Amino acid sequence: MPSYSFVLNGEKVTVEAPADMPLLWVLRDLLHVTGPKYGCGVGVCRACTSHLDGEEIQPCTVKVKDCADREVTTIEGLADGDTLHPVQEAWLDCDVAQCGFCQPGQIMAAAALLKKTPQPSDADIDRIENVCRCGTYTRIREAINKAAAKITP
């Protein structure tokens, strides 16, 4: 079985896995990093949204071989130790989460958006495709705006 190394949440990891194994199952079933959630397996619901070299990805549609020697960040790696990322802080301030299942993906999508677009417009936020079945969208928008204001006052 081939072996792949990549940096996961700041630490180097090596896994033996089939080349085409989706990163989602590498994370969840081999590395027991369960923040990224399965919701569809086809990149549509985006509950697994994480970062690859700082860019948003859906690990359910990214093969492990394409992550070799790159940097993967999941929700578990977004905070700096006990210091939460401003997006996570804003999520707490706005009490966004209901069932919470999609929220790791929502937060990672928001963090990726703010990295590229520090002052997003409503239209920018509207382009986030992540499904929230509980319907927390209004609070997600509020939290993104709050985090944007904090990051770039």
Core vs surface per residue 68-80: b (16+ CB within 10 A) or e? eeebbbbbebbee
Of residues 21 and 67, the one with the C-beta less far from another protein: 21
Contact of 102 with 38, CB cutoff 8 Å: no
CB of 78 to another protein, least distance (A): 8
Q: Which of residues 106-135 bind another protein (CB under 8 A)?
A: 107, 122, 125-135
One residue of 14, 32, 80, 121 binding another protein per CB under 8 A: 32
Helix (H, G, I), strand (E, B) or coil at 7: strand
CB atoms within 10 A of CB 65: 14
Can residue 28 be called a binding residue for another protein (CB under 8 A)? yes
Can residue 29 be called a binding residue for another protein (CB under 8 A)? yes
Helix (H, G, I), strand (E, B) or coil at 76: helix
Contact of 77 with 13, CB cutoff 8 Å: no
Stretch in the footprint of another protein (CB under 8 A) among 42-50, 51-59, 65-73, 145-153 = 42-50
Question: Which of 9, 132, 112 has its CA nearest to residue 56?
Answer: 112
Stretch in the footprint of another protein (CB under 8 A) among 51-59, 65-73, 138-146 = 138-146
Residues of the shown chain interacting with another protein in the complex, contacts defined by CB under 8 A: 1, 17-18, 21-22, 25-26, 28-30, 32, 34-42, 44-45, 47, 74-76, 78-79, 84, 88, 91-92, 95-104, 107, 122, 125-141
